[in-house]
Structure 1
Amino acid sequence: MKTTMKIAVIAMMGMSFGISAQENFSSINLSGNNPISSVNGFYNKIQFTDRSHGALVFNPGKSNELMFGLHSNGNFYWGTGQSASRPNFYSMYLNGNNGELTTNSIKIKGSNSISSVNGFLNKMEFIGGSHGALVFNPGKSNELMFGLHSNGNFYWGTGQSASRPNYYSMYLNGNNGELTTNSIKIKGSNSISSVNGFLNKIEFIGGSHGALVFNPGKSNELMFGLHSNGNFYWGTGQSASKPNFYPMYLNSTTGNLGIRGKLTASEVKIKLGGWADFVFYEGYKLPTLKEVERHIKEKGHLKNIPSAKEVEKNGIFLGEMDAKLLQKIEELTLYTIEQEKKLKSQKDKFDKQQKEIENQRGKIERLESLVEKLLKDKN
């Protein structure tokens, strides 16, 4: 009360002696207030009367001047005591008409005592209106924004109308959890690894299946899907209950890979439990060529080899067919060896006969020469 009286006495002395209204004090204690409250019942502790603006200034006119200013245009300013007609000069200013706060940066340490859904603290709140956004360089060609809309969606991109979601670089549907974006680059992973220590870069949580889909719902839709039945699917986003519909699917239980169409590979390795070397074992009963010929005439194909109709209906097992074809090749090899032996035997006989013929021819020639000589001697 004494300090208040002292201020009043000094003010009255200043007015009576015509000195400046600006005085320097180490501190001021305002314990009273104007009995006429301002808007919303706020008490007028300090009043600026008969001016277009007023301010509380620290170190006025100095290089480290700081101020909090109030202007008749309805705005509030923080920064240095420059002209209120240059709002961008201030570190921060608040437009009292539309509630817009402009500043270089904001660091929020506190939060609303009333938490939002799931106990999240309200660090920043957008109250009133159908949407709100944090915007970088608003209205400029490089404008960037993160927006929240009353329709439950989140938007990243430029500050265009939320009714044009495809315009945004990325948006999240808050109702179904769908995230739409041009591309995603994932560098981190879940700290809890999955089976065999694989890092969870992307996780599908909840539901019986999930998929990565390109052009969903379009004629050129492509997808890679994972199902709770343990299977993987490649193709279009059709029901996982129709695996034959997909160009390719993998059964994780059996390891069977199904492909509709052609497979192109630089190398294919097939592991089998048996091979056709038994053809060369002692005691193997090699069919005679007459038996082979008879089976071909009766069945129209080699023994133990499926017919064309069977292949068309049931297909073939590549490894099993390779083993059967090798068996036939090895049997042909045995036939060839046997034929080679027979041909050699026949050649040996022929060579022996030729030698005998040559000997007989030599004997005949000698006899003819001897007869001819005898006939000459007789004459």
Structure 2
Amino acid sequence: MEKAISHFTLNQNSVFSLVFFFLIYSPFSLHAQQEVVEKSYHLTTGDGWYRIVKGTVFTSCKIRIHGINDNNKVTDLTFYVSAMAYDQGGNISIVNNQHYNQNHIDEIRSGTIIENNSRKYAIDVHLVNLDGDTDLKIEAENRVSLVNTPIFNPIPIPEKGLVSISGKSLGIASTRYPIYLGNKVGIGTTNLGSWKLAVNGKIKAKEIKVSTDWADFVFSDTYKLPTLEEVETHIK
């Protein structure tokens, strides 16, 4: 009986330890407890990629980017992002995307980089429509490492472990379920080219309907072909 009670106590303590660990270290509790840090930047290098976050191991946090360009173009973008330094993917979920005149941000990417033989996670934003100098303010939970100066056009994040959202609308992206939302849609690829839909893989569908302005009705079984005499008269 004593052994049974001791065994039960050990299991109970283990359960309590796991619950305590979850409550303290789960992403939900971290989001609730984390303070917000803020950094302001003055960008003069124009359109391109900017690395705004770089750190070790992993991060899961909320980031807000507020940009002003020439006092008449304003971007306000908020997103949750998780990134890892071990090529294991992550997630980007945009929860707010407002802009006046033109949006400054058309793509976000996160993933693993190698720097000085050390693996790190990085978060980049792609800025466009910058006609001049731009003031950028970034607010983020303090467990993410905001860089002191955004790195302009850094070495791209390798495709392995890359998470990306392209387009100027709300979306969710994951390397495990890769969906890229915007004016174009890419599944399994960020190289959309001029296509509205690009799929890197096979497609299975019950039905696909293609609609054009061509005169496809001439191929119908009920269509009555004109006689040769009618064709001759039409040509003349």
TM-score, normalisation: structure 1:
0.20
Please say which structure displays the higher CA radius of gyration: 1
Greater share of strand residues, 1 or 2?
Answer: 2
Q: Larger % of helix: which? A: 1
Kindly indicate whether structure 1 or structure 2 has the higher relative contact order, using CA contacts under 8 Å at least 6 residues apart: 2
Give the TM-score, by structure 2 length: 0.29
